[in-house]
Amino acid sequence: MRGFFRRHRRKLLVVLAVLALLAATPPLAAKIYAWRDDRKARMTTDGPYQATRESLNAHPVPDWFSDAKFGIFIHWGLFSVPGFAPTGNFADVLRTDYDRAMLVHPYAEDYHNAMRVPGTPTADHHRATYGDLPYEDFKAAFDEGLKRWDPQTWARTFRDSGARYVVLVAKYHDGYPLWPTEVTNPHRPGWHSERDIVGELAAAVRTHGMRFGLYYSGGVDWTFQRDVVRTLGDYTYAGYGDGYADYADAQVRELVSRYRPDLLWNDISWPTGQRRLFSLFADYYNTVPDGVLNDRWQTDSLWRWLMGTRLGRAGFDQVMKWAIADDPEFVDNVKPPAVPHSDFTTPEYTSYDTVQAKKWEMTRGIGNSYGFNRNETDGDYASFTGTLLPDFVDALAKNGNLLLNVGPAGGEGTIPPEQLSRLDGFGRWLDRNGAAVYDTRPWTRAETDGAHFTAAPDGSVNVILDEPVRTDRVRLTGVQLSGAGRLLADGSTVTLTAEGADTVLGFTRPPGPDDPFPAVQVSPT
């Protein structure tokens, strides 16, 4: 054996060198890929926060966000003019037509993508209604309607619904900014609103005592990404396009400096590396110390670039189809992956099973589309008492907020009556039961059969019943409570009687079937 090594020493050394080079190539390539972006990382502010994970993770979630509980999301833009998509459920489309899912799903805000493929419902509708009109020409109709848009009316509506904050989509996937940005789009100069929609709404919302946040589509911009999006792989791993990282970074910095949003809500992913993103985060916190950041900031990397190749996307799509075939309900419970820093997580149309230590926000539409979809009828919108209110109560008992979307129509920004009726339901319920919602925190347990719980700052426990009270007695199974009880809706006395491991609530004035989810506050004696 020794003779073999002596005779072939040189060859063996060459082989070992080649193997070492092969082993070193992926991490070396990843470092080179990251360096191209990392060298652009720089902060523009002085303040307590620095561009490190440790510094950013020291940022506390501000009380205003934990106290607010209920926010309004607004998807509104050029796509609101045609306002068309097939009806249905996005998860069902993934299960039944995965290879065309992003062309035939019910999200009307994706009109620009779907209209480009002949034979899709959106393309057929566009041809029949608008002929050969380019998507860009919806700007004229939007601007005409915008002359009649009143941000104060919106703000009053949202305030009356009980919302404590509002998040506007400042730029969606079609790349159209709703403010007069000074950052030039190299592919479409002048592609932005001349009217300062963001600024006007920010002023109106804040005038009515609410916080103001901004959504930005960091991961998708179809003015840079020209290919049609057909599958979830295309959507998730589309190439960003030359210059997009610089463009997106500059636009978000412009939004922060100009409007100081209380909340930054990025979507899909982020086109820079982590070092550059952390510089943006630190500058944001130094500018808006009590601002909050969501969790959809998955950064660019060599791995993501590889996943964005045709082979990578095909592999992702195949794995997704296998996962759906193995468990069709898999797509009903997808949550964004963890990122190195965020103030809260954003499960979409879904929730958590238990109380979460980290603050979170359930995000959902009133219907199955975020943008206005003229095909949706009242039956397509979620029931207030059957879905929306239960979702809200479940979220707040588990340390969550609800960000409920509205999709206004046209440039006028008309909120459909079906959506207004749900907002009115929230307003009326919160008028009666807001003390069990605002400024609360999770109790020692989230729920029992028929009830959810929150804890008030003064040590009171709030019991939110999951259905109208039909008798004068309600049993809380496996829960022991004592103290002075009162029905929040009218202040009437509620007695508490221990029966074994249970507590029985006795109503002197039962709230009745027209008072869904009544809340009882139990104060310590």
- For position 485, which CATH number holds? 2.60.40.1180
291 & 360 share domain: yes
Give the pLDDT band (50/70/90) at residue 478. Answer: very high
Give the pLDDT band (50/70/90) at residue 5. Answer: very low
Please state, in angstroms and rounded to a whole number, the distance separating the CA atoms of residues 449 and 462. 15
331 & 275 share domain: yes
Structural domain contains residue 47: no
109 & 202 share domain: yes
Structural domain contains residue 358: yes
Q: Which of 356, 429, 368 is nearest to 393 (CA)?
A: 429
266 & 409 share domain: yes
427 & 516 share domain: no
267 & 220 share domain: yes
Structural domain contains residue 48: no
**Residue 16, pLDDT score:** 56
32 & 68 share domain: no
Give the position of tokens 């963890």. Answer: 338
CB 37 within 8 A of CB 272: yes
Provide CB contacts within 8 A for 56, sequence distance 6+. Answer: 49, 278, 281, 282, 285, 341
Write out the two tokens for 23. Answer: 């082993």
Provide CB contacts within 8 A for 313, sequence distance 6+. Answer: 231, 233, 234, 237, 307
**Residue 25, pLDDT score:** 61
Write out the two tokens for 136. Answer: 């860009």
422 & 457 share domain: no
Please state, in angstroms and as integers, the Cα–Cα distance from residue 213 to each residue in 7, 216, 266, following that order.
71, 10, 11
469 & 363 share domain: no
452 & 428 share domain: no
Write out the two tokens for 56. Answer: 């950013």
Structural domain contains residue 237: yes
Strand-pair partners of 214: 168, 264
Please provide residue 339's backbone torsions phi and psi, each rounded to the nearest 5 degrees.
Answer: -125, 165
Convert the pLDDT of each residue in 299-330 to its tens digit. Answer: 999 999 999 999 999 999 999 999 999 999 98
Q: What percent of the chain has pLDDT over 70?
A: 95
Please tell me what DSSP assigns to residue 391: H
Convert the pLDDT of each residue in 324-349 to its tens digit. Answer: 999 999 888 888 899 999 999 999 99
**Virtual CA dihedral for 298, 303, 308, 314, nearest 10 degrees?**
-110
379 & 488 share domain: no
Q: Which of 366, 351, 486 is nearest to 425 (CA)?
A: 366
Specify the 3-state DSSP secondary structure of 159.
helix
Q: Which of 436, 460, 484 finishes a domain?
A: 436
CATH code of residue 59: 3.20.20.80
What is the average pLDDT score of the chain? 94
Structural domain contains residue 342: yes
- Give the domain extent around 15: 2-38
406 & 333 share domain: yes
Domains: count for the chain: 3
Structural domain contains residue 369: yes
Q: Which of 444, 512, 422, 463 is nearest to 160 (CA)?
A: 422
Structural domain contains residue 45: no
